[in-house]
Amino acid sequence: MTTAETRNSPATPQNLPIVPFAETHLPGALALSQAVGWPHRLEDWALMLSVSEGVAALDGDRVVGTAFCTVFGDVALINMIIVDSGMRGRGLGRRLMQAVMGMAGDREMRLVATEEGLPLYRKLGFAVTGRIAQHQGIAVPAEPALPVREGAVGDMARLAAMDRAASGLARTGLLERIAGQGHVLVAEGGFALLRDFGRGHVLGPVVARDPATARALIAAGASRCAGRFLRIDLPEACGLGDFAAGLGLAHAGGGTAMARGAGTPEASDVHTYALVSQALG
């Protein structure tokens, strides 16, 4: 995909077809995400598609735009919004967003925005709810200050209920899928999932009743990945950025959490200290 190829295309963003995203679009979507510097592998795109509906904008047989809607109960996550660099600023992003917002219906919608996407999302009714800090690097081992044990897929129904209390997302199936592919870390009053992603591994979600439990789970995850690349996406309000940096996971950007149609969250004694991913909440 080159700039010259984009300029020579006879199509314009206003008349490109937007079609349901299918498995055959995965290689084109991967190329699109690589062009904008995202770390996703084909397997990461496939996981997203397995729990989402989406659309693709096509210029001939080339994918030049993507958008997904992932429904978890009463909440829809809007994600994987990418527009080819040669098609930006002429309405294609809005068309993609309107398509997946239609899939969400009257549910609360959430997303994590890049700086470039913020103006459009504000125009579409999304409001800022916080900041997400991406931390990554070569993990350094650390002894958890609280006991952490290895869990199993069989634990996930109970742990998913804890996750729903923290996030408002009904995503048992997703968490079971991740647990089956990776590792489940369980502490008294919390849990975390560790899986392959992008350049190495990602730790998330981390759900816990207090920061001390979250720190123990993060330390256990870093120790499992010692000497290897690890990423974690932290809500800045949780205040664990310095702790992650001490485990070799330097701050490397992030995004702005936004929501549309959000209600008042139910009170909970557990909280989300790290996301599954910026796309999946």
Name the residue among 71, 93, 86, 273 with its Cα closest to residue 167: 273
- Asked whether residue 119 is assigned to any structural domain, the reply reads no
Q: Please report the pLDDT score of residue 107 as a whole number.
A: 97
| 164 & 257 share domain | yes
| 224 & 139 share domain | yes
Average pLDDT over residues 64-71: 98
| 144 & 261 share domain | yes
Q: Please report the pLDDT score of residue 264 as a whole number.
A: 82
| 144 & 263 share domain | yes
Reply yes or no on whether the pLDDT at 60 is more than 80: yes
CA distance 201 to 268: 29
- Asked whether residue 57 is assigned to any structural domain, the reply reads yes
| 180 & 93 share domain | no
Q: Please report the pLDDT score of residue 126 as a whole number.
A: 98
CATH number of the domain that residue 49 is part of: 3.40.630.30
Domain extent at residue 80: 3-106
| 59 & 94 share domain | yes
* Tally of domains in the chain: 2
- Asked whether residue 221 is assigned to any structural domain, the reply reads yes
| 90 & 157 share domain | no
Q: Is 58 in a helix, a strand, or coil?
A: strand
Q: Please report the pLDDT score of residue 158 as a whole number.
A: 94
CA distance 278 to 215: 20
Q: Please report the pLDDT score of residue 11 as a whole number.
A: 67
- Asked whether residue 118 is assigned to any structural domain, the reply reads no
Q: Is 232 in a helix, a strand, or coil?
A: strand
Average pLDDT over residues 26-49: 96
Average pLDDT over residues 163-186: 96
| 90 & 163 share domain | no
| 97 & 216 share domain | no
CA distance 126 to 104: 14
Q: Please report the pLDDT score of residue 7 as a whole number.
A: 39
Q: Please report the pLDDT score of residue 87 as a whole number.
A: 86
Average pLDDT over residues 71-87: 95
